[in-house]
Structure 1
Amino acid sequence: MNERSNFPIDFVVTWVDGSDSNWLKSRKIFESDNQDDKSEARFRDYDLFNYWFRAVEKYAPWVNKIYLVTDNQVPEWLNVEHEKLVLVDHTNIIPQKNLPTFNSSAIEVNLKNIEELSEHFVLFNDDMFLNAPVNPEDFFWFDGNPRDTAGLNAIMPIEDFDHIVANNMIIINKNFKKSEVITKNVFKFFNIKNGPLNIYTLFLLFLPRFTRFYDLHIPYSILKSEFKSVMNDNNQLYEETSKNKFRSIRDITIWSVRYTQIAKGIFKPRRFDFGKFYNLTQIDKIVRDIEKCKHKVIDINDSDKVDSEQFKKNIKDLHKAFDRHLLKKSDYEN
């Protein structure tokens, strides 16, 4: 019988207060740049971040450290003296010449520069919440391999972000032969835990190259050594991404690291429905999921289709839903 491994697992979470006046002034200076993704929905603050910490304390008390990555912003309610909390400013990990940045891709590819970050870490965005009790083995198996769900998918262009996905896949196709990857890891790509992803993989199996891996849009388990290796091997792309102040079609993302882990077979299959991706147009489904703890992790993504008034109403509904299980303040709060 396997015993629980004793290696530390850190959480990393990126956060921005899009309503902060100083941050808005700084962003406005660069808005004339001809770059993608400056929509309001990318930066609206949900005012739910305290629930993120409450959920970690309640559902993952075993976490080693929490690295909060911000642009000189700290929530006023945050207990910065908490022994597990480490504040990481952009200036600590991103070269001064590339600051300020409003590009989530640029921020994430530089997380490798967090010096004390453990080899095993889980990357969250601030809209990704633990929603039920989790164990270390939900994120890294006993042998240290990341937990993930491997499935093939296709790029079906509908937005500029699909260029970024293609950039990540260029890295994979340059370094891996699809037939060899599938043959070596056939029972990871075709696995009962993959559920409907098995069908997508079957349909795309005989194409000569990888078109895309299936992205679940939930917190990803990353090995720091693989992270550094991928960025070092693709230094030009890493540097290009780091200097783009807004998301650009020339970016790569930390997904390229996840894809590399999958292509190398260094992961343990995890159920496809471990987590769930939502956007704010699905508020009723989100509320039910939170109230019933249906999925262990959820991603509540903003949407341009939700106007300011509806956004405020949805956030109130989310507060009420989270209060059902996470009403009590955590030790991460003052």
Structure 2
Amino acid sequence: MPKWLNIDNPKLNIAKHSDFIPQKYLPTFSSQPIELNLHRINGLAERFVYFNDDMFLLRPVKRELFFAGKDCLPTDFAITSTISTTTKEDMMPFIKLNCVTILNGHFDKKEQMKKHFSKWVNLAYGWNALRNLIFYGQHRFKGFANNHLAFSFLKSEYEDIWEKEYESLDDTSSHKFRSKLDLDNWLIRYWQLTRGNFYPIGRHVKGKVYEIYNGVEQNQELFKSIENQAMPMICINDNDNVDFEPMKERIKQAFDKILPEKSSFEK
């Protein structure tokens, strides 16, 4: 654990892999088994939000950013898209395709859209609502628009998928390293969307994903977004072609401006 972490904070619950991931999947060096078994964390609420380590809140937010409506459902956007690859080394398109394949084995796209029509053809999506309408007649899902930001989940959706697709999830959880044959927690999200267990919001309501580029000038929009607290949250994605060290200090300065004091989770 980080040396700066105040492990005595009563709001903090530390869950080691061995605390919630079945022993037969351990040790693991892949994020997939971790993400697919989050529902096993002791005391985890039915409604929870999952952040990766490159996601940051920029300002205080209300519960409605993550769960809204009379049924307090996860906020999300159901926008149809297609899956494309950039390089054969990029595993994520293959993993997303695996997730969609599982989905198509359980659901008819046209039937599910008809059942939850107002959640698919929704003004919150802007022009993307028209896109959904154009492809309304398709019976198979081809993909979904995704944002690499914190997502809201229902623990019961995890449990439902594990009950219906145990062998597939068990196989992925058994992989020690990431594989093109994997599933991941995009499947949980797609499952929620397909079943209508979400509250429609605009794609960019929660925030934005920033790629880091070489050179301070190239990242001015990122720095300004942090310092101006321009949106609820951001993801800072450092790709393989960037020398992160020169950017690190400038990003830290931006966060120090809006967060000058230590939180209760820091020593």
Judging changes above 3 Å, is the alpha-carbon distance between structure 1 residues 195 and 324 closer, same or farther for their aligned structure 2 residues? farther
Give structure 1 stretches of 5+ with no counterpart.
1-73
* Structure 1 Cα separation of the partners of residues 106 and 238 of structure 2: 34
Hey, what does 1:319 align to over in structure 2?
Answer: 252
Hey, what does 2:109 align to over in structure 1?
Answer: 178
Structure 1 runs of 4+ aligned residues shifted over 6 Å read none
Q: Are 1:169 and 2:91 an aligned pair? A: no
* Structure 2 Cα separation of the partners of residues 284 and 203 of structure 1: 38
CA offset digits 1:104-127 (Å, max 9, x no partner)? 111100111102100000000011
Instruction: Check the 8 A contact 1:169/1:256 in 2, yes or no.
Output: yes
Q: Are 1:144 and 2:81 an aligned pair? A: no
Judging changes above 3 Å, is the alpha-carbon distance between structure 1 residues 84 and 196 closer, same or farther for their aligned structure 2 residues? farther
Hey, what does 1:131 align to over in structure 2?
Answer: 58
Q: Are 1:80 and 2:12 an aligned pair? A: no
**Which of the numbers 250, 253, 260 marks the counterpart of 2:191?**
260
**Which of the numbers 224, 227, 238 marks the counterpart of 1:291?**
227
SS at structure 2 position matched to 1:198: helix
Instruction: Check the 8 A contact 1:153/1:204 in 2, yes or no.
Output: no
Deviation of residue 96 (structure 1)?
2.9
After TM superposition, the structure 1 stretch with the greater mean CA deviation from structure 2, 225-234 or 95-104, is: 95-104
Hey, what does 1:63 align to over in structure 2?
Answer: none
Counterparts of residues 178-197 of structure 1 (less than 5 Å): 178-197=109-128
CA offset digits 1:81-101 (Å, max 9, x no partner)? 111100011111223332221
Judging changes above 3 Å, is the alpha-carbon distance between structure 1 residues 291 and 197 closer, same or farther for their aligned structure 2 residues? farther
Q: Are 1:278 and 2:210 an aligned pair? A: yes
Hey, what does 1:153 align to over in structure 2?
Answer: 81
Instruction: Check the 8 A contact 1:195/1:272 in 2, yes or no.
Output: no
Judging changes above 3 Å, is the alpha-carbon distance between structure 1 residues 314 and 196 closer, same or farther for their aligned structure 2 residues? farther
SS at structure 2 position matched to 1:87: coil
Aligned length: 258
Counterparts of residues 4-83 of structure 1 (less than 5 Å): 74-83=1-10
Instruction: Check the 8 A contact 1:153/1:213 in 2, yes or no.
Output: yes
Q: Are 1:119 and 2:46 an aligned pair? A: yes
Instruction: Check the 8 A contact 1:133/1:296 in 2, yes or no.
Output: yes
Deviation of residue 326 (structure 1)?
0.7
TM-score normalized by the length of structure 2: 0.91
Bigger relative contact order, structure 1 or 2 (CA pairs below 8 A, ≥6 apart)? 2
Instruction: Check the 8 A contact 2:50/2:153 in 1, yes or no.
Output: yes
CA offset digits 1:128-162 (Å, max 9, x no partner)? 11122210111111422111111001011222211
Q: Are 1:248 and 2:175 an aligned pair? A: no
Instruction: Check the 8 A contact 1:131/1:295 in 2, yes or no.
Output: yes
* Structure 2 Cα separation of the partners of residues 331 and 149 of structure 1: 33
Give structure 2 stretches of 5+ with no counterpart.
none
* Structure 2 Cα separation of the partners of residues 75 and 214 of structure 1: 34
Hey, what does 1:329 align to over in structure 2?
Answer: 262
Q: Are 1:216 and 2:216 an aligned pair? A: no
* Structure 2 Cα separation of the partners of residues 175 and 153 of structure 1: 19
Deviation of residue 79 (structure 1)?
0.6
Judging changes above 3 Å, is the alpha-carbon distance between structure 1 residues 305 and 138 closer, same or farther for their aligned structure 2 residues? same
After TM superposition, the structure 1 stretch with the greater mean CA deviation from structure 2, 221-230 or 196-205, is: 196-205
Deviation of residue 202 (structure 1)?
4.3
Hey, what does 1:234 align to over in structure 2?
Answer: 165
Hey, what does 1:302 align to over in structure 2?
Answer: 238
Deviation of residue 196 (structure 1)?
4.2
Q: What is the root-mean-square deviation in Å for CA atoms of aligned residues?
A: 1.6
Instruction: Check the 8 A contact 2:25/2:33 in 1, yes or no.
Output: no
Judging changes above 3 Å, is the alpha-carbon distance between structure 1 residues 251 and 264 closer, same or farther for their aligned structure 2 residues? same
2:239 partner amino acid: S
CA offset digits 1:255-287 (Å, max 9, x no partner)? 111111111111111122122112222632221
* Structure 2 Cα separation of the partners of residues 294 and 224 of structure 1: 31
